[in-house]
Amino acid sequence: MPKIDSNVAAERYPSVRRLTEQLAEPLSAEDCSIQSMSDASPTRWHMAHTTWFFETFLLKQLPGYVSPSPQFEQLFNSYYNSVSELFDRSRRGCLSRPNMDEVREYRKHVDSLVRENLESGKFNDHQLAVLEIGINHEQQHQELILTDIKHGLACSPLLPTYRESVSENYADADASEIEWVDGPDGLVSIGHDGEGFSFDNESPRHLFHLVPYQVASRTVTNAEFLQFMQDGGYSRPEFWLSAGWDAVQSNDWSAPLYWKKAGDEWENFTLAGPRPIAMNEPVCHISYFEADAYARWAGCRLPTEFEWEAMVDSLSIKPDSGCWSDQLISANQAIHPRALVQNHGFDHAFGNVWEWTSSQYSAYPGYAPPPGALGEYNGKFMCNQFVLRGGSCATPQGHIRSTYRNFFPADTRWQFSGIRLGR
């Protein structure tokens, strides 16, 4: 388990923790307590759980540490069965206590001790490695704070905003024509190379054989997905997997999540409130089932995660400024995908929308979960989920890379997820 340099950790830890506080600033205490569905969690719970992570896996391993509240071990444990009994995930919105002030005090308590141990050099190499996992874990929850509060606010008939966007920048310039890019085939190297941080599910690096394929130069736009809808896409079972068709019928899907007809036009709900659909932005909040159905309708398919990674690496594409940062948050910008108006051969691979792949989430050859409770982080979820690549506009800057494997069940729609075609 590679460790972070203690000097780097001393800078990154408070920066990431501060960013979580900034995300909560526009929200009232009532906003921070809502849970709109079982998949989402209240902002207050995210703030407490990320603190619980550092307390549980770092501070509680130090001699003499005393928790400010032993009950927090159960209340803010997410899924670590080997640590403590779990509080029912679907009932996190029932927790009115501890309140926001108490959660902030909990964060201050843990932060002061983590910083004290960092500055005094008391953390050993293993503890520094755990600290780096905790920093990246908090960044995952920063993205979830945005996706979860968006879902919660969208459930209100008042359609409240999370943040007003000071620069709307919704000009709907022409999107570039899709070009088909040949990907590298034959034996390719897949997985993290060991340089810098990665989660355990990105390893070990291994060889994978790819037959010739092509990947679309950009993701599918709102206008293109609307053509699928107008062609009866949601009412034609021939495009859908059986489980997908069942999901359409049982959930009454007829458009992407957050789309709503306003007279003769479509609008969607954003973190800056409702606004007209911008046709050349990437279609977003799409389930795997919808992505797969669209691909079939278009005479294509979804790329595998191995094709996606090999393509991005072969073109030396790196994460860019599309991901948000503390500067973006402090400038009061609304988080939203960017219009697809550029063309560099393979556009917006990072930081726009998570891109569904056709790959089931499973272990790489030779994978073994880490020992101890942290072995529950990724490995035990390798069942009935699909891999997404590339990060989204809600992913923190510096948190994504070409080997990053996000994963969700096929009917998931509340994440910033979209479609890039393959063939």
Same domain, 198 and 277: yes
| 268 and 313 within one domain | yes
pTM more than 0.85: yes
Same domain (yes/no): 115, 192? no
CATH code for the domain in which residue 122 is found: 1.20.120
The Cα–Cα gap between 162 and 146 comes to 9
The last residue of a domain, from among 119, 137, 154: 154
Q: DSSP letters of 242-305?
A: HHHHHHHHHHT--SSTTEEEETTEEEEEETTEEEE--TTSBP-S--HHHHHHHHHHTT-BPPPH
Tell which residue, 66, 63, 31, 26, has the closest CA to residue 45. 31
Domain boundary among 137, 154, 171: 154
pLDDT in tens, the chain (423 residues): 566 777 888 899 999 999 999 999 999 999 999 999 999 999 999 999 999 999 999 999 999 999 999 899 999 999 888 888 889 999 999 999 999 999 999 999 999 999 999 999 889 999 999 999 999 999 999 999 999 999 999 999 999 999 887 555 445 556 788 999 999 999 999 999 999 999 999 999 999 999 999 999 999 999 999 999 999 999 999 999 999 999 999 999 999 999 999 899 999 999 999 999 999 999 999 999 999 999 999 999 999 999 999 999 999 988 865 566 655 555 555 688 877 655 556 778 998 999 999 999 999 999 999 998 898 889 999 999 999 999 999 999 889 999 999 999 999 999 999 999 999
Strand residue runs (E) in 97-205: 180-182, 186-190
Q: Give how many domains the chain has, as a whole number.
A: 2
Burial class (CB in 10 A: 0-12, 13-18, 19+), 303: buried
Bond prior to 204 in cis (omega within 30° of 0): yes
b/e burial code for range 200-224 (CB count within 10 A of at least 16 → b): bbbbeeeebebeebbbbbbbbbbeb
Residue 407 lies in a domain: yes
b or e along 233-251 (b: 16 or more beta carbons within 10 Å of the residue's beta carbon)? bbeeeebbeeebbebbeee
